[in-house]
Chain A
């Protein structure tokens, strides 16, 4: 059997490796995504004070610490049996909306933008954000950096620190905002709405106006008919901060809607011998392997999944874009993996609009932002939608608040099985009789990157960028050909 290795996956958070195994004919037999991840977070947190969790778990990741901080804080609300006052809930959602808009911006322009705006066949040296600037115009650089700067500044203003917030407490938050801060947040939010509209226009002008790109999105190379998962509000609209978890079938029918505390009734985790990442699946449907369809418990939890499980977006402009996406791509649900990038921009607009709505809420500057917990801590589950999937934190503690159990299902883990399936399918379509070239391999990577995966991202060190290396081996293991490129 021949083996093709793509290592590391360029522009992937953390460090991952794709192994593609070819059969005797040179066609794809199997594809596996292998992730060297830092392990042990769930173990070493046991024995520590529960209140440390929002700060400790934020260190799991340098990209989405706000998501871990918020899921941990919500788990502590439940564990300490305390309901935060309305101002605290709104402040948390405001903070989270700003984080979302900032995170989705970076992803679109630094990752998916280069693939989409320049096209998968563009030379590797140009397929980066500088290539986007060259094609879209110089002013895009200033807009992206301003959006990031505003987001990070406001996250620091509200959450105490720019990267790892230290603000969430069981029962609320450690401080509120005053009127001048509120005005600043609102003003930046209005600019964020304009920025989101500008980003959707880029998608229109450059991606949707190009028939080749549209054919790539709607073709069957990146098609997977799986179940979908996402958080919804009382009206079944997408919500990132709070609500119920809704699961819909490949045909779009609701099959479950539950409070996050019931997650173990719905989600089970499969362990495979070749990787230490777990594969969550729908318990009631069952594990049938890395396959899609109504009978397979594999589900996705991505921006597109959140759109698929919802009835719409709760803000007017985003809802109009939501409808346009489904009208353009042939109705709900959408199973084309690459449409995830479009869904991400719809969410960017929603996050920006929600940011403005909350900044204008009369309660947002309220002084009641903490309910002091008085009950004995027991157990709690907290969920938020991380940008890259539903994030679940589950803790149990003794009567002193010392942790006795920690279980985390991080956003990307939900998508572990679909990621492997997407890579395999793309490879099957794009590698034939052992013929491989750089463009085809990039398209395999595109399948992966659509999930915005975040694996083992708690560490970094020099050196960083390594070449994308592809090794073709014959059945005896001898190297037939080596390809490499720097991204």
Chain B
């Protein structure tokens, strides 16, 4: 199964860069894996959909502002939370973009094979080349989280089957 991991964000805007930082950590850990690609991007909506063409599964990592404690890691499905770019004059929501892409005949991951990993941000309005401390501390946790999603630890019965 081919998987695309997309880190979204702006590297110059404090916690908005967190998706890119997690992607950088994953790129290092996943070097040499032919079934996984890790990319950076800066748009949601249409462009995000276009990136997913040809993959079986996609994991999107981005900053999130939901009011939770900074650094909290959320898992969301495509229908849950479109990116802010979806409220854009140049774009549309990710679900709309996925429907549009499928209408055009593009091969895209099924909705259930698209996971959004959001890291709760504290500051997404000021320029800065580093994250706030709580968000910076969450980067390695998010990397481990995505690695676990990618390669889940086998459940006991599965492990037993493997041993057998």
The 5 closest A-B pairs by CB, nearest first: A464-B84, A462-B64, A141-B104, A461-B63, A463-B81
Q: A62-B42, A459-B125, A462-B116 are in contact. Are A13 and B10 (CB under 8 A)?
A: no
Q: Number of contacts between A and B (CB, 8 Å)?
A: 153
Asked if A458 and B89 sit within 8 Å, CB to CB, the answer is no
B residues in contact (CB < 8 Å) with A? 8-13, 15-16, 41-44, 46-47, 50, 62-66, 76, 81-93, 96, 99-101, 103-106, 116, 118, 121, 124-127
Known: A110-B91, A128-B92, A460-B16. A141 touches B103 (CB 8 A): yes
B89 contacts across to A, CB distance below 8 A: 11-13, 107, 110-111, 449, 452-454
Interface-central residue, B12, B84, B101, by most chain A CB under 10 Å: B84
A63 CB contacts on chain B under 8 angstroms = 43, 88, 90
CA A44 – CA B129 in complex, angstroms? 11
Task: Please report A residues at the B interface, Cβ cutoff 8 Å.
Answer: 8, 10-15, 36, 38, 40-41, 44, 56, 59, 62-63, 103, 106-107, 110-111, 128-130, 133, 138, 141-142, 144-145, 148-149, 152, 163-164, 449, 452-454, 457-466, 487
- The 8 Å CB contact of B100, one of A8, A129, A463, is A129
Chain A nearest CB: distance from B60 CB in Å? 9
CB distance from B159 to the nearest CB of A (A): 35
Residues of A within 8 A of B92 (CB): 11, 110, 128-129
B99 touches A130 (CB 8 A): yes
Known pairs A129-B100, A142-B104, A461-B62; A13 contacts B11 (CB<8 A): no
How far in angstroms is the closest Cβ of chain B from A364? Answer: 27
CA distance A198 to B121 in the complex (A): 44
Contact residues in B for A459 (Cβ distance below 8 Å): 10, 13, 16, 84, 124-125
A10 touches B90 (CB 8 A): no
Q: Is the CB of A38 within 8 A of B66?
A: no
* B121 pairs with A461, CB closer than 8 A: yes
Verify A8–B90 contact, CB threshold 8 A.
no
Residue of B9, B88, B103, B127 near A13 (CB, 8 A) is B88
A460 to B62 CA separation, bound complex (whole angstroms): 9
A41, A452, A458: most-surrounded residue (chain B CB, <10 A) = A458
Complex CA–CA separation, A56 to B11 (angstroms): 10
Contact A460–B44 (Cβ < 8 Å): yes
Bound-state Cα–Cα, A453 to B88, Å: 10
Q: Choose from A41, A59, A111 the contact partner of B90 (Cβ within 8 Å).
A: A111
In the complex, what residues of A have CB within 8 A of residue B9's CB?
A: 460-461
Q: Are A110 and B62 in contact (CB under 8 A)?
A: no
In Å, the complex CA distance between A106 and B45 comes to 12
Whole-angstrom distance between the alpha carbons of A459 and B76 in the complex? 20
B77 smallest CB distance to A (angstroms): 12
Tell me the nearest residue of chain B to A114, going by C-beta. B92
Tell me which of A44, A106, A452, A464 contacts B86 (CB under 8 A).
A464
Tell me whether A8 and B12 are in contact (CB under 8 A).
Answer: no
Q: Is the CB of A462 within 8 A of B62?
A: yes
Q: A461 and B116 in contact (CB under 8 A), knowing A15-B87, A145-B50, A145-B106?
A: no
Given A149-B50, A459-B125, A463-B81, A38:B13 Cβ within 8 A: yes
Assuming A38-B13, A461-B62, A463-B81, is B100 touching A10 (CB within 8 A)? no
Give the shortest distance, in Å, between B61 (CB) and chain A (any CB).
10
Question: In the complex, what residues of A have CB within 8 A of residue B76's CB?
Answer: 462
- Contact assessment for B84 and A12 in the assembled complex, using a CB-CB cutoff below 8 Å: no
CB distance from B111 to the nearest CB of A (A): 15
Find out whether the CB atom of A138 lies under 8 angstroms from the CB atom of B103: yes
- What B residues does A38 contact at CB under 8 A? 13, 125-127
Tell me how far the C-beta of B119 lies from the nearest C-beta in chain A, rounded to whole angstroms: 9
A63-B90, A463-B82 known; A36+B125 contact, CB < 8 A: yes
5 further contact pairs, Cβ within 8 A, besides A110-B91, A462-B63: A12-B87, A14-B88, A63-B88, A129-B96, A464-B87
A487 vs B86: C-alpha distance when bound (angstroms): 10
Say whether B11 contacts A145, CB under 8 Å: no
